[in-house]
Amino acid sequence: MKYFFQILLAGLIGGTIAFGAFSWKLDNVEKRIVMNAENNNKSSLVSSSNTLPFDFVDASKIATPSVVHIYAKESEQLANQRFQGNKNQRGNGFFGFDLEDFFGGGMNNLFGPKQGTGSGVIYSEDGYIITNNHVVGFADDIRVVLTDKREFKAIKVGTDPSSDLALLKIEAENLPTIPLGDSDNLQIGEWVLAVGNPFSYLTSTVTAGIVSAKGRELDIIEGKRTIEEFIQTDAAVNPGNSGGALVNAQGDLVGINTAIATPTGVYAGYSFAIPVNLVLRIIEDIKVNGDIQRANLGIEGFDVNKEIVEEENLSVDQGFLVVNVIDGSGAQYSGVIPGDVVTEVNDITVRDIEDIKAGMKFSKVGDTVRLKVNRDGVEKTINVKLRQGL
């Protein structure tokens, strides 16, 4: 009996020790599980933060100092000249409005001198500033305010209404410039920032969005010859932003904010910017030549197709058939005649009228355009000097 109790006691002691050891081990296992779970959560959080959109602090710091506020006004004298010339300043525009309605270019005075505000981007340290033509094109009194509150009177170096771009100059040195990006490398889905002065009083405002499309043609720039290949974004842009900067995540300039798609006149989801590669080409042209006026060839006709080939007994199966040559045009003075089939413009093969537009995209009054035409089965090269007023 005594031996039995000794065995029972030993069993109880051993069980207690075993249970205690098991509990300790289980507790440690649970702790390790909890710690591992916490570590996994931390790892997950770190990993997630790396995949979340980065902040735009650095890009904003780079871009904001080089975006200026522009105040533009038309003098009484210029307004009188406009009225005497019976110029209709109200066009069709996007959703029935002008670009000026959207971005402050005289939107608050339709019958007297026009005035408005917008934005601009410092192009060079010595005071050249890029903006939109619809911001300053109507004005002869232009003031520029920098982010450091310094104010300057600006002169208009020149404008290009066909691309809605303008170049200003202020007398200043060592101005903050913005790094130039490459809009051709811009990707759909890439983050971008819009920097500008919406509604005049919200100065130096930064908004973010993504590139949602490239190469948009919206038919919002007035004129027979226009250049439109907008970058479409969903960065918020409003009246006053026009002429401001569209920058990538590194703070490089990739576009000039120009228009919005809206039925109301304020931001409704989509904004449009002129690609910087196009901007630079035109701005350098303005810098050298001043105002730029685009010109047409002065021809009218049809794209060549199978039916036209058969009807006109043509010896080529693609191109643009000239039916009419406008009196006084460069084409008339250069010897283009009805019946000619334009097959090349400036070494670009012509399949339809759009190829002619592409070949003449940057051509202006005074430039010479090289045409290759097929006339009664004979190929000819004709140099056409573009003339004003067409």
Q: So which residues are the catalytic ones? A: 134, 164, 242
| Token pair listed for 289 | 């030549």
**Alpha helix stretches (DSSP H) within the chain:** 2-51, 57-63, 76-84, 99-103, 133-136, 276-289, 306-312, 330-334, 353-359
Cα atoms in the Cβ-side hemisphere of radius 13 Å centred on 39: 6
Residue whose C-alpha is closest to residue 277's, from 249, 246, 241, 250 = 246
In a 3-state reduction of DSSP, which class is residue 56? coil
Handedness of CA 301, 305, 307, 312 (dihedral sign): positive
Q: For residues 337 and 325, is the Cβ–Cβ distance under 8 A?
A: yes
Coil, strand or helix at 38: helix
Pick the closest to residue 390 from 352, 370, 360 (CA basis): 360
Q: Which residue has the tokens 């002619």?
A: 356
Go through 334-359 and write b for each residue having 16 or more CB atoms within 10 A of its CB, e for each that does not. bebeeebbbbbbbeeebeeeebbeeb
Q: Which two tokens stand for residue 3?
A: 């031996």
Asked if 363 contacts 227 with a C-beta cutoff of 8 angstroms, the reply is: no
